[in-house]
Amino acid sequence: MTDSPIRLLLADDQALVRGALAALLNLEQDLSVVAEVGRGDEVLEAARTSQADVCLLDIEMPGMDGIEAADQLRQHLPQVRVLIVTTFGRPGYLRRAMDVGARGFVVKDTPARELAEAVRRVHAGLRVVDPELATESVLGGPNPLTDREREVLREAIAGGTVSSIAGRVHLSQGTVRNYLSSAIGKTGTATRVEAARVAQERGWL
């Protein structure tokens, strides 16, 4: 046990989930929730202001997703540890989170005692990864999509023509068609909408 509690920041857009996590973690004598936010783009400033030691981040949040927020923390507050706590246990998310410096990745149905222990281990500089997800990630291989392919697929989710997608990403229509065709091939699908859905389900976007 540390002399002073480990200071925690919780980021989750669902207030009920955030409150439940805070209540559970505050029961531990060596843990203290010092900040709570509901948006990804609020994480960096809240972590800086609260002097958090460990940030527990959800992935899908407004403003900025948890993986982008983790990347911001790595760049600006490298001493702060990140533990992803999410409903979305997708291998692609796990790999992306580790790539931006997250020290842990667990799902929200992790028992409270295990979550508290995960926080302690991450704070100590160790890695904590949901074992089932870790296995799936290894078996699934790396994300095959390039940054540009991911960009046009994210736009494809919003719908619209190739022309409108090209306008939003500032590329020619022919280039967009090439990226979409390549992404469709890599996801083993038949249309850009299906490719975007599969890529999203696998955590590649």
Domain with 89, as residue range(s), is 6-139
In the numeric block, the tokens 């999203």 are attached to 200
pLDDT digits (tens, 9 = 90+) for 61-91: 999 999 999 999 999 999 999 999 988 777 7
Q: What is the pTM of this model?
A: 0.69
Contact 3, 30 (CB under 8 A): no
Dihedral angle over CA of 39, 30, 75, 148, nearest 10: -50
190 and 119 housed in the same domain: no
Inside any domain, residue 1: no
CATH classification of the domain holding 193: 1.10.10.10
> Could you say which of 87, 108, 139 is where a domain stops?
139
Name the token pair of 92.
């692609």
- We report the CATH number of the domain holding residue 130 as 3.40.50.2300
Residue 109 domain-assigned? yes
- How many structural domains does the chain have? 2
Q: Dump pLDDT digits (tens) for 132-185.
A: 776 665 555 677 889 899 999 989 887 778 999 999 999 999 999 999 999 999
Based on the fold, state whether residues 33 and 111 are members of the same structural domain. yes
Q: How far apart are CA 23 and CA 46, in angstroms?
A: 19
The label of the residue with tokens 């704070």 reads: 123
- 125 and 168 share a domain? no
Q: Are residues 196 and 116 in the same domain?
A: no
CB 84 within 8 A of CB 54: no
Angle at 186 between CA 185 and CA 187, to 5 degrees: 95
